[in-house]
Structure 1
Amino acid sequence: MSRQTIKKTVLGLVVVLALLAVGVAAGLWWGKNPVTAGGKDISANAGKDGRSVLYWYDPMVPTQKFDTPGKSPFMEMQLVPKYADEGGDAATVKIDPDVAQNLGVRLAVVTRAPFGADVQATGSVDFNERDIAIVQARSGGFVERVANLAPNDVVGAGAFIAELLVPEWAALQQEYLALRALGDASLEGAARERMRLGGMPERLIREVAASGKVRNRISITAPRSGVIQTLEVRPGMTLMAGQTLARINGIATVWLDVAVPEAQAGSVRVGQTVKADFPAYPGKPVQGRVTALLPTLNDAARALRVRVELPNQDGRLRPGLTAQVSIRGTGGESALRVPTEAVIRTGRRALVIVAEAEGRYRPVEVILGPESGTGTVIVSGLDEGQKIVASGQFLIDSEASLQGIVARTSGSAEAMPVPVALHEADAVIKDISDAYVTLAHGPFKTLSMPGMTMEFPLANPKLAKGLQAGDRVRVGARETDDGLVIEKLDRTGGAK
C-alpha cells in the first residue's frame, strides 16, 4: 500500500468519527431540551441560555410572528426572540420602576363623581347694555357752554355737561308769571302744565316759581355715573328738540361674554355661579352669575355665547379685559372620570394606559363621554379605583406598539369592538352629487381640524337625496385609511 493511500484512509476515518461525535451530541441535547409548538417538538424554540421562547419577531414589524429564528423577510435583519419569562401576560409592557421614574411616568386613579362639575371657558368684558342713559335736548335752542369732556371720560352722577339757551322757555315762563300775578289758581296751574309740556324739567319750574324770574338757560347734567360713550354737543350749536347730546354707560356692573365649547353647552344654566380670574389682577377672582344664554352660537369657534354679570364697584373691570371663567356645576348623575391628559386619542379610538402590579402597563380601549373641566367621563372600559398613567403614556403606548400589543377593553381577554363615534360639525353645502359633497364646514373638534371648504366622498348616494347647494347641514364623518368619508348629512336649515 502506498503512502498516499494510507493518508487518504486515515483522513476518512477522522471525518467519520467527527460526524459520529456531532450526531451523538445533538441527540443528547435534543433529548434534554424538547419544546412543543403546534403539536410538534421544535428545538428552535429555546434560546442560547435555555430560556423558553414564545416566538421570534422583527422589531420593525412587531405584529408578524415567526416560529423559528432566522432573517426577517422584511428588513434583512435577524429576528428577535420573545421569551416566555419576559412577562406572564403578553398584552402588557413591563418597565423597570427606575426607568419609569426617569421617563416622568405619573399615575392617577379612576374616580367616580357626580357629573356636572365646573365648565372651564374664556370670556371678555363688555359694557352692561342695560345700564345706559341717553341725554337729549327737550326743546330746540342753542349751546352756550360745554364742559371740558370727551368720549371715554368717566363722569359722576350730576356732573355738568353743557349749558343751553332755550328761547321758547322764556315765553312760557313769562306767561306763567303773568297768570300767577292775577291770583287765579286754575290759570296758574294751567300755565305750569304748559311749561311741563314744553319740555322744562320740574327742577327748573320750581326755581322759576320760587324766584319769580325768567330762567331761559339750563344746565345739562349727567343723570348717572359712568363712561361717556358719545358726546355730540359743541359751543354755538343749534339744537333740535329730541337731539341726542350724550350717551353714558354705567360701570357699576359689567357683562362678561363667555364662549362655552359646543360640547359643554348643555351643562350651563341661567343662575349658575361663576368665578372669573383676570390675568390683569392675579389672585383676585370676581364672583358673578349667568344671566343669559344667547340664542346664537359663535360660528368661528362653534361655542355657545353665555352672558355673565359681574360687580364692578371699584371700576377696575374695563371692557376688553379677558378672563378665565369657571362656571360652577349643579351636580348630576354619578360617572367615572379620568384626567383628560391621560387619554390618548388616535382619531378612530381612545386609549388609556392602565398601571398594574410589578411595573406592568396595559393599553386599554375606552369609550369617552363628555369633558368637564380637567376631567373626561369614561362610559366604558375602566373600573373605579384603577390606576392609570396620566403622564408619559405616549412613550408606553409606543413601546406597546413595537411589541405588537393590541389594546383591549378592561377585564376582557379578547379585543372587543368599540363603536367609533362620528366626527361632527355644522356646514353649508356648496356642491353635491351622488358620490361627493363640497362643504364649507366648521371645526371638527374631535379631530382638531379647523373649519374650511373642501370636497368629501359620500358613504352612500342616498345621503344626497333632497339636499342642494346652500342647505345648512349637520355633518357626520368617519375616518378611514383614505381620509374622511361622510356618513351623515342632516339638514338643519334651508338655503343660506
Structure 2
Amino acid sequence: MAHGKRLLPFVIVAVVALLAATGWAFRERLLGFVRARSASSASAPTAGSPMPMADHQGDAKRSGGDPSADTTARSEVTIDPRRQQLIGVRTTPVTRGRMEQNVRAVGVVRYDETRLADINLKLEGWIRDLYVDYTGQSIRKGQPLFTLYSPEVLTTQNEYLLALKTRDQMQESQLPDSREYADRLASSARQRLTLWDLPPEQIEALERTREPQTNVTFRSPVTGFVIEKTALKGMHVMPGQTLYKIADLSAVWVEAEVYENEVPMVRVGGPATVTVDSYPGQPFNGRAVYVYPTVTEQTRTVKVRFEFPNAGGRLKPGMYANVDLRGPAVAGLTVPTNAVLDSGRQQVAFVLVGDGYFEPRNVKVGLRFRESVQILEGLKEGEQVATGAAFFLDSESQLRGSLQGFETPPANAGAPAQRERLDIAVRTQPDPPKTGENAFEVTVKGADGKPIEDAQVSLQFNMAAMPTMNMPAMRNEVKVAPAGGGVYRGSGEVMMAGRWDVTVVVSKGGQRIGAKQLIVTAR
C-alpha cells in the first residue's frame, strides 16, 4: 500500500505530460493546416462544403498591405441590417482634410527655479529684531528682514573708522608712502564690510557719522513670497545657514507628462495654453521651454516644461493644470479611432462593400489624434468603414478564416470524402437564448428534402478573444440526440451573454457529412 502511494505522484506527472504532448500535437496539426491553406495561391472548394475557401493573398493585395505581414487569417463577413443594429455596428466615411496635432496633457504648477532666492549670511551672529516673521508673507526688494548683532562686524567697523581717521591725518604728511598705506587700510576694512553684504547705505552712514552700529539691518534682495523660513528672534546663526527662501511668482512653470508618441509634436518655443479648475473657461497663454531628455518608465511619458506669466498670482504652485499644445497641421485621410483594430503586428479596418458585406483591409496608420487616426495606406476617400462594434466583425472574420483553413487539408493529405448538401435548421428555447441552460433543436434534411436519421449532431460555440477587453477566447460544445424525423434535441449551457459563432456539425460513422455556421446572440 505504501509502495502504491509513493508511485502515485509519478503516475500523475506521466498523465499530465501525455495530455500536454497530445495538445501540442493537435495544435501543430491545426497550424499546419492553416499554413498549407495560406501557402496555396488558388484552391477549389470541397464539394458540398458549406464554407468555401477564401483567397487571403488576394485580400492582402486589395488592401494595399504586405501579405506576409498578415499574421491572422481573416475572411469576409456578411451582416444583415437587423443584426448590425442589434450588435451596434455603424459605418462612417473615410474623409480627407487638415488635422491639427493637438496635444493634451495633465501637469502641475511649479515654482520657476530661476526666480528662487536663498537668504543666508556670510558671518556669525545673533538675530535681534525679526521683521518678516511668517511663511507666505509677501515682501518687496529692499524690505528689511531682520537685524543682526555680530562681534565680527562691530570689530571691522571700528577698524574701518580707525583707518579713516589715520587716512585723514596722513593727508598733510610729506611721506607719500604713508598716505598710500593709510588708504589701503581703509579700503581693506570697507571691502570686508561689503563682502559681508552690509547694505551700502549703512556703510555710508558709518563714514558720515563715524559711529559704529551695534545691529546691522539685512534687506531682501528680491520681490516675492516667503516659501520657507527658519529665522527666529534671538537665534544664533552661522555662515551659510539658510534663513529664508523666497519665490518670485510673477512667472511660473507647468510641468506636464506627455506620451512618448506625442513628443514629436512638441516644439520648444511653441505656444501653449493652460486651464485650472479654480478658473474654468479662463485659459492662460504661455510657451514650451524645455523637453526633458528621459522617459518615465512606469507611465511611458516624457516631462515637458512650460512657462506662463503670472502677474496676478492666480496660478499657484501645486495646482493641477490641463495643458493644450497646438502642433503643426497635417493633411491626409482619417477615420475614427475605433474603426481600426490594432493587434500590435497589424492594423485592420472593415470596409462596407455593399448589402451588409464587410471586407477586411490591412491598413497602415500614421499619427493619432483625439478621436481619429491618420490612414497612410489601405483605404480610399469616401469608402465606408465599420465603427462601434468592429471588434465583433473581427472576431467573426478570424473565426471563419481559421475554420476555412482547418477545413482544407494540405495538398498531400489526399482527397476528402464527398459530403452531402444538407439543409440544417436550428431553434432554441428560449429564443434568443439566455445565459445558462437552454434547450436546442436541430432539424437536418438532405438535398432531396428527406430527413437525415441516426446522425451525430453537435453545436460548437465559439467566442473569439477580445484583446482590447483583455478577454480570452471561449469555447463550448452541446450535443443533441435523435428525436425522430431528422430532428435532434438536447440541452446545454451558454456561458455568457453576447454574440457567439456557432457551427452545427453533422456526422455519420465518424465522417462529417455537413455543417452550418450561424450567429447566436445570447441575452
When residues 166 and 353 of structure 1 are mapped into structure 2, their CA distance, relative to the original with a 3 A threshold, is: same
Matched residue type, 1:319: P
The alignment's TM-score, normalised by the length of structure 2, stands at: 0.53
Matched residue type, 1:197: R
- 1:111 corresponds to 2:96: yes
User: Residue 304 of structure 1 corresponds to which residue in structure 2?
Assistant: 302
Task: Report matched runs for 1:92-103 at 5 Å.
Answer: 93-96=78-81, 100=85, 103=88
User: Residue 133 of structure 2 corresponds to which residue in structure 1?
Assistant: 149
In structure 2, the residue corresponding to 1:366 is in which secondary structure? strand
In structure 1, the residue corresponding to 2:364 is in which secondary structure? strand
When residues 267 and 338 of structure 1 are mapped into structure 2, their CA distance, relative to the original with a 3 A threshold, is: same
Q: Which moved more, 1:136-145 or 1:188-197?
A: 188-197
Q: Deviations over 1:126-151 (max 9, x none)?
A: 21111111212233221112246344
Q: CA deviation at 1:206?
A: 2.2
User: Residue 337 of structure 2 corresponds to which residue in structure 1?
Assistant: 340
Matched residue type, 2:190: M
Distance in 2 between residues matched to 1:211 and 1:106, nearest whole Å:
91
Distance in 2 between residues matched to 1:95 and 1:161, nearest whole Å:
81
Q: CA deviation at 1:391?
A: 3.5
Size of the aligned set, in residue pairs, is 329
Distance in 2 between residues matched to 1:225 and 1:97, nearest whole Å:
71
User: Residue 295 of structure 1 corresponds to which residue in structure 2?
Assistant: 293
Matched residue type, 2:239: A
Distance in 1 between residues matched to 2:469 and 2:309, nearest whole Å:
36
- Tell me, yes or no, if the aligned pair for 1:192 and 1:205 is still in contact at 8 Å: no
Query: Residue 165 of structure 1 is aligned with which of 133, 139, 149?
Result: 149
Unpaired stretches in structure 1, ≥5 consecutive residues: 1-37, 46-54, 58-62, 66-89, 407-445, 450-496
Q: CA deviation at 1:370?
A: 3.6
Distance in 2 between residues matched to 1:122 and 1:374, nearest whole Å:
18
Matched residue type, 2:92: L
Distance in 1 between residues matched to 2:310 and 2:97, nearest whole Å:
38
- Tell me, yes or no, if the aligned pair for 1:97 and 1:359 is still in contact at 8 Å: no
Q: Deviations over 1:312-353 (max 9, x none)?
A: 222222222222322221356x44333323322344432223
- Tell me, yes or no, if the aligned pair for 2:132 and 2:146 is still in contact at 8 Å: no
Task: Report matched runs for 1:362-441 at 5 Å.
Answer: 362-395=359-392, 397=394, 404=400
User: Residue 239 of structure 2 corresponds to which residue in structure 1?
Assistant: 241
User: Residue 329 of structure 1 corresponds to which residue in structure 2?
Assistant: 327
- 1:191 corresponds to 2:186: yes
Task: Report matched runs for 1:447-462 at 5 Å.
Answer: none
When residues 137 and 331 of structure 1 are mapped into structure 2, their CA distance, relative to the original with a 3 A threshold, is: same
User: Residue 350 of structure 1 corresponds to which residue in structure 2?
Assistant: 347
- Tell me, yes or no, if the aligned pair for 1:176 and 1:188 is still in contact at 8 Å: no
In structure 2, the residue corresponding to 1:296 is in which secondary structure? strand
Distance in 2 between residues matched to 1:93 and 1:287, nearest whole Å:
52
Q: CA deviation at 1:92?
A: 5.2
Distance in 1 between residues matched to 2:314 and 2:277, nearest whole Å:
13
Q: Deviations over 1:356-384 (max 9, x none)?
A: 56666544332223424443232311123
Task: Report matched runs for 1:29-40 at 5 Å.
Answer: none
Q: CA deviation at 1:240?
A: 2.5
In structure 2, the residue corresponding to 1:292 is in which secondary structure? strand
In structure 2, the residue corresponding to 1:254 is in which secondary structure? strand
When residues 179 and 113 of structure 1 are mapped into structure 2, their CA distance, relative to the original with a 3 A threshold, is: same
When residues 288 and 93 of structure 1 are mapped into structure 2, their CA distance, relative to the original with a 3 A threshold, is: farther
When residues 358 and 39 of structure 1 are mapped into structure 2, their CA distance, relative to the original with a 3 A threshold, is: closer
Distance in 1 between residues matched to 2:319 and 2:89, nearest whole Å:
37
When residues 229 and 376 of structure 1 are mapped into structure 2, their CA distance, relative to the original with a 3 A threshold, is: same
- 1:133 corresponds to 2:117: yes
Q: CA deviation at 1:205?
A: 1.2
Matched residue type, 2:342: R
Query: Residue 281 of structure 2 is aligned with which of 277, 280, 283?
Result: 283
User: Residue 8 of structure 2 corresponds to which residue in structure 1?
Assistant: none
When residues 369 and 207 of structure 1 are mapped into structure 2, their CA distance, relative to the original with a 3 A threshold, is: same
When residues 251 and 279 of structure 1 are mapped into structure 2, their CA distance, relative to the original with a 3 A threshold, is: same
- Tell me, yes or no, if the aligned pair for 2:106 and 2:257 is still in contact at 8 Å: yes
- Tell me, yes or no, if the aligned pair for 1:294 and 1:304 is still in contact at 8 Å: yes
Distance in 2 between residues matched to 1:448 and 1:218, nearest whole Å:
71
Task: Report matched runs for 1:28-107 at 5 Å.
Answer: 56=50, 91=76, 93-96=78-81, 100=85, 103=88, 105=90, 107=92
Task: Report matched runs for 1:469-480 at 5 Å.
Answer: none
Select the structure with the greater relative contact order (CA < 8 A; seq sep ≥ 6). 2
Distance in 2 between residues matched to 1:39 and 1:97, nearest whole Å:
30
**Which structure features the higher share of helix residues?**
2
Unpaired stretches in structure 2, ≥5 consecutive residues: 1-43, 55-74, 172-179, 403-466, 471-523
Distance in 2 between residues matched to 1:156 and 1:389, nearest whole Å:
64
- Tell me, yes or no, if the aligned pair for 2:94 and 2:333 is still in contact at 8 Å: no
User: Residue 461 of structure 1 corresponds to which residue in structure 2?
Assistant: none
- Tell me, yes or no, if the aligned pair for 2:133 and 2:232 is still in contact at 8 Å: no
- Tell me, yes or no, if the aligned pair for 2:199 and 2:218 is still in contact at 8 Å: no
The alignment's TM-score, normalised by the length of structure 1, stands at: 0.56
Distance in 2 between residues matched to 1:39 and 1:280, nearest whole Å:
68
